[in-house]
């Protein structure tokens, strides 16, 4: 696996994101800068930087796709906070709470538009990358709409739960690696990347659900523990944890199969999360 200090590249991504949204876009630009200032793990940027380096991409192209993917993710967070009425994001006021609903909508739109602007740095490949990114954004919107439609209802089938869990987060999770593969001309590996992203997204959602069983029940939100309980599982928490581990293991195998180790960081993340869940399972 390629290993190196990503800090300088992450700093470039942070700078480029701010250049694209601030200071010439008024209150929405200021709100976007406020949102980005809260930081975050920048997982999607790191996935793009790792994949770009592994595949031998130019630094310019790598920073462009890393910036685009991170801006897309943050656009989704601004809109998610508004839809869910979550007052805080990373320890500070969510955009809607500080600036109001209307500005929050505009801020998410600005971040989304900036993501497409970031791809201008990829030169002749920009058209193909933009088309790919649009397809993934459309998939996420479809998944989010399906998730919202199911709130307050019951999902009795595991397959339906996994479709929703994958649909609302996997497309943007795997996009950094997909765009790097496109720039490298490795279209043959995109299917394996999609499988890795879908499995990781399902495992991640299940792990998140395990921490939010009571809250999700109160808010009538979709939760794997409730799905398994409704299906007759005698010990739904333990079954959910074991299933999440399996999905992370599947994600690790698929990510590790990607060319030149470009999925190594995702494989590493999958292994770490499966290990943490396995430790929890042993102590319960």
Q: For the chain, which residues make up each domain, given as ranges?
A: 7-282
* pLDDT class of 282 with cuts at 50, 70, 90: low
Distance, C-alpha 10 to centroid of its chain = 17
The more confident residue out of 168 and 247 is 247
Q: What does pTM read for this prediction?
A: 0.92
Q: How many CA atoms lie within 13 A of 98 on its CB side?
A: 17
Residue closest to 30 by CA, chosen among 117, 113, 114, 110: 110
pLDDT, tens digit, for every residue of 181-237? 999 999 999 999 999 999 999 999 999 999 999 988 887 788 999 999 999 999 999
Q: How far apart are CA 93 and CA 96, in angstroms?
A: 8
Fold of domain 7-282: Farnesyl Diphosphate Synthase (1.10.600)
Q: How far apart are CA 255 and CA 3, in angstroms?
A: 16
Q: How far apart are CA 250 and CA 267, in angstroms?
A: 9
**227: which DSSP letter?**
H
């Amino acid at each position: 696996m390629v290993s190196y200090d990503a800090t300088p590249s992450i700093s470039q991504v942070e700078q480029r994101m701010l250049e694209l949204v601030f200071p010439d876009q008024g209150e929405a630009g200021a709100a976007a800068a406020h949102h980005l200032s809260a930081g975050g793990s920048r997982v999607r940027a790191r996935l793009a930087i790792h994949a770009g380096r592994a595949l031998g991409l130019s630094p310019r192209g790598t920073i462009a796709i890393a910036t685009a993917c991170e801006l897309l993710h943050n656009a989704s967070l601004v809109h998610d906070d508004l839809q869910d009425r979550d007052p805080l994001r990373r320890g500070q006021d969510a955009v809607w709470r500080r600036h109001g609903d209307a500005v929050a909508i505009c801020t998410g739109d600005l971040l989304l538009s900036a993501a497409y602007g970031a791809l201008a740095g990829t030169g002749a490949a920009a058209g193909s990358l933009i088309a790919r990114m649009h397809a993934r954004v459309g998939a996420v919107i479809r998944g989010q709409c399906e998730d919202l439609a199911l709130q307050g209802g019951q999902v009795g089938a595991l397959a339906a739960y996994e479709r929703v869990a994958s649909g609302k987060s996997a497309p943007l999770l795997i996009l950094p690696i997909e765009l790097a593969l496109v720039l490298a001309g490795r279209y043959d590996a995109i299917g394996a990347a999609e499988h890795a992203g879908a499995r990781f997204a399902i495992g991640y959602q299940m792990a998140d659900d395990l921490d939010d069983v009571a809250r999700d029940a109160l808010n009538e939100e979709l939760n794997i523990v409730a799905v398994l309980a409704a299906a007759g599982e005698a010990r739904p928490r333990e079954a959910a944890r074991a299933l999440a581990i399996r999905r992370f293991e599947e994600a690790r195998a698929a990510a590790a199969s990607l060319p030149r180790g470009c999925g190594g960081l995702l494989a590493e993340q999958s292994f770490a999360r499966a290990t943490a869940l396995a430790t929890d399972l042993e102590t319960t």
